[in-house]
Amino acid sequence: MLLPLTLHPALFGIVQGGRFKDLREESTKAISAMGFDGFGIGGTFLKEDMGNAVRWVNEILPPEKPRHLLGIGEPTDILTAIENGCDTFDCVAPTRMARNSALYSKNGRLNITNSKHSSEYIPIEEGCDCYTCQTFTRAYLHHLFDAKEMLAATLASIHNLRFVVRLVDNARQAILDKQFLEYKEQFLKEYTVGG
């Protein structure tokens, strides 16, 4: 059976070029000319170069087509990439962090194995609508990690993934409200305070 056109698999061209502006531009022009459905931005770059590398590419790519940034998933990096024109992301970071007991919160990353969480009968993050936060306390998560229960990684992953999806949902709304830079500034102010 033929799928509706909107459901056909989209083929993305991948832009490479590392941290070199001339190579990024050459790669972007070549890939842009090939008529892909969207574009992936790949290749290695240092974290501090990411904003530049992404901006060089996005200034050339066709504005009407989606841009996917490969391998970026840290909350602060996602906001930098959005600011420089990226639409979608994929990364192992949220689940890898979760398996290693690092949980995202709006006040920064918290390590749930820290003994101070053993008697905190509150959610990982107040106000979070994920299953883990709606159902369990920090103390319970601490216990699960302490007991090396596999459920710990599952519950922690549910929270970290929801945190990242909410971050991007809020960024999208902030863009629509023409408030993105204010949103980013406020997020970073709170995110780097705690930990």
Interface region with Zn ion, contact rule CB under 5 A, candidates 34-42, 74-82, 141-149, 157-165: 157-165
Question: Which of residues 97 and 133 has its CB atom nearest to Zn ion in the complex?
Answer: 133
Q: Does 164 bind Zn ion (CB under 5 A)?
A: no
**Which residue of 159, 164, 187, 191 would you call a contact of Zn ion, by CB under 5 A?**
159
Residue 119 phi, psi (nearest 5): -125, 25
Write out the H or E segment, with its range, that includes residue 27.
helix 21-32
What is the footprint of Zn ion within residues 115-154 (CB under 5 A)?
128, 130, 133
Write out the H or E segment, with its range, that includes residue 83.
helix 75-83
Question: Which of residues 86 and 156 has its CB atom nearest to Zn ion in the complex?
Answer: 156
Q: Is 83 exposed, middle or buried (0-12, 13-18, 19+ CB in 10 A)?
A: middle
**CB 67, CB 58: distance < 8 Å:** yes
Cross-strand pairs, 102: 111
Interface region with Zn ion, contact rule CB under 5 A, candidates 8-16, 88-96, 108-116, 159-167: 159-167
Which residues contact Zn ion by CB under 5 A?
Answer: 128, 130, 133, 159
